[in-house]
């Protein structure tokens, strides 16, 4: 998928199909594994998956100087569903920036596997990218793996990654229940607090808000 130069682009991936928003035009598009971002262009790629098996391989190419890409995602894997996302943000030009922030909740016997790559070519001086992937595990039977990678071919850049796999804090749960919340209400509040950082980053676009409402309602 080649994006239009000098524009703001939003791609919302809800699992089965993708909604592509450019300006006020909204249309369904075929799933694309390679997205090319030209110079002076901003892309926000949003992943919102709930109660489904989804496997994606995604490469975002920053092809021209001055472009930026955000890869933002929330998902809930439950039952025996498997979520797998292999993502790469590839910097091919100087002064390009990126941010990858993905958080997922895994329950029951579900599995979640995230492999994130920041790739910065030798010509991509003065580029920046941050990769953050976090999983919250709600059961003893669920499984999760995180595989962050950096491939940096020049010294004049800033790139880093942060990953965690953890269960909800017992201290936080005890505090909420001591204030009168039941177990289900406590879990819901902890999950919402965990995902809220990403939801805020996604912004106020109506398509994103509609997808998040469906996510929260299932």
The pair of structure tokens assigned to 60 is 């975002």
Torsion of CA 125, 134, 11, 130, to 10 degrees: -10
Mean pLDDT, each 10-residue run in order, the chain (218 residues): 84 80 49 83 93 94 94 96 97 96 96 97 96 95 97 94 88 62 74 92 89 77
pLDDT of residue 207: 86
* pTM for this prediction: 0.90
Q: Which residue, 122, 120, 73, is CA-closest to 96?
A: 120
In terms of DSSP H, where are the helices of the chain? 170-178, 183-202, 206-217
Question: How many angstroms separate the CA atoms of 154 and 11, rounded?
Answer: 30
Answer whether 10's CB lies under 8 Å from 20's CB: yes
The tokens for 55 are 């496997």
Query: HEC profile for 15-54?
Result: CCCEEEEECCEEEEECCCCEEEECCCCEEEEEEEEECCCE
Predicted confidence (pLDDT) per residue in 159-194, tens digit: 999 999 998 877 766 555 666 666 777 777 788 889
pLDDT at site 85:
96
């Amino acid at each position: 998928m080649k994006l239009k130069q000098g524009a703001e682009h939003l791609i919302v991936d809800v699992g089965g199909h993708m909604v592509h928003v450019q300006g006020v035009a909204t249309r369904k598009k075929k799933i694309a594994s390679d997205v090319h971002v030209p110079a002076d262009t901003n892309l926000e790629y949003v992943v919102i998956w709930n109660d489904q098996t989804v496997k994606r391989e995604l490469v975002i190419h920053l092809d021209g100087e001055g472009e930026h890409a955000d890869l933002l995602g929330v998902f809930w894997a439950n039952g025996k569903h498997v979520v797998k996302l292999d993502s790469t943000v590839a910097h091919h030009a100087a002064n390009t920036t990126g941010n990858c922030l993905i958080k997922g909740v895994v329950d029951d016997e579900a599995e979640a596997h995230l492999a994130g790559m920041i790739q910065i070519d030798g010509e991509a001086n003065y580029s920046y990218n941050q990769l953050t992937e976090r999983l919250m595990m709600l059961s003893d039977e669920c499984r999760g793996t995180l595989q962050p990678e950096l491939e940096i071919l020049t010294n004049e850049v800033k790139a880093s990654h942060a990953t965690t796999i953890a269960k909800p804090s017992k201290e936080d749960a005890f505090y909420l229940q001591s204030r009168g919340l039941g177990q289900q209400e406590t879990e819901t509040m902890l999950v919402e607090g965990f995902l809220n950082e990403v939801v805020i980053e996604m912004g106020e676009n109506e398509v994103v808000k509609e997808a998040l409402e469906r996510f929260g309602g299932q």
